Amino acid sequence: MLKECLENVRAAVPLVHNITNYVTVNDVANILLACGGSPIMSDDEGDVEDITSICGGLNINIGTLNKNTIPAMFLAGRRANALGHKVLLDPVGAGASKLRTETALSLLRDVKFDAVRGNISEIKTLAFGSGKTSGVDANVADRVTEENLEDSVAFVKSFAAACRCIVAVTGAIDLVSDGDRCYVIRNGRAEMGRITGTGCQLSGMMTAFLVANPEKPLEACAAAVCAMGLAGEIGWKNMQTGDGNSTYRNRIIDAIYNMDGDALERGAKYEIL
């Protein structure tokens, strides 16, 4: 199933509109190209409705909010909903500031999302209306571990059911649920946390997977998460003496570019609860 999801992205070449943060915008574009999608970036409110109309999916990332991009997110989201396009929310830093938290919660109320992807602290902030994060990173006290896995799975299932969308919590252990089933994914490397933007890249890629696999949203999101984690493993294996986090970022993108469905099926580490 994961193989098919990746192959469908390669075949469909889905066009994804990204309203994303300027820290990672180039990496998001490159990971979309690497996985077989096609990126377009637009965040001006005079432009976003037209742009999202020609795309199959919309990726909304609140990482660098400002007074211009916030209304653009709502306009694009409503337009995408009216057209039946796939929409994903990445609530970067929700819980770190009032603006981020209120914007994420308002988007969740006003726009119908097919998926929400974030770290555990961001997702808890959306679920409970408030929370704490370590900047844009998960609070240590919130992290999903083997010891709290059962409770974490129950939480993610409950929130996904309440939102009526796929919820993906990414970290050392990734959880992807539709409210009924939950993929528990153990791909990835701790060193991925030393790179700015792996989460942002995953959100863009996940949107492409959703567009290319409209009848299998849970499997599409799980496949994207597995692919990103596996790319982190492959990229780290290919590191050379003297390489650092900048090179590692590029090796992850290269690993996605060179990954095929069979490699994804072989390398994916998951169980379904």
- Predicted pLDDT at 145: 87
Q: What is the pLDDT of residue 153?
A: 96
Strand partners, 16: 39, 57
Which pLDDT does position 141 carry in this prediction?
A: 58
Start-to-end Cα distance in the chain: 17
Contact 183, 175 (CB under 8 A): yes
Q: Which residue has the tokens 């240590």?
A: 140
Euclidean distance between CA atoms 23 and 211, whole angstroms: 25
Where does 27-108 show beta strands of DSSP type E? 38-41, 57-61, 86-90
Query: With b meaning 16 or more CB within 10 Å and e meaning fewer, what string describes 138-177?
Result: bbeebbbeeeeeeebbebbbebbeebebbbbbbbbbbbbb
Task: Count Cβ atoms below 10 Å from residue 201 Cβ, excluding itself.
Answer: 26
Give the residue among 184, 170, 185 at the shortest CA–CA distance from 123: 170
Cα(112)–Cα(88) distance, rounded to whole angstroms? Answer: 9
Closest C-alpha among 28, 39, 5 to residue 218:
5
> What per-residue confidence (pLDDT) applies to 133?
55
CATH code where residue 205 lies:
3.40.1190.20
DSSP H stretches of helix in 85-185: 98-110, 120-128, 149-163
- Distance, in Å, from the CA atom of 251 to the CA atom of 144, rounded to the nearest integer, reads 27
> What residues contact 235, with CB distance under 8 A and at least 6 apart?
189, 248, 251, 252, 254, 255
Q: What is the domain range of residue 44?
A: 2-272
How many domains does the chain divide into?
Answer: 1
The ranges of the chain with pLDDT < 50 are 134-138
- The backbone region for 256, taken as left when phi is positive above 0, alpha when psi lies in -120 to 50, beta otherwise, is alpha
| CA separation for the pair 30, 16 (Å, rounded) | 12
Judged on CB neighbours under 10 Å (0-12, 13-18, 19+), 250 is: middle
**Which residues in 136-252 belong to E strands, given as ranges?**
166-169, 174-177, 182-185
- What pLDDT does 130 receive? 66
**Distance between CA atoms of residues 84 and 78, nearest Å:** 10
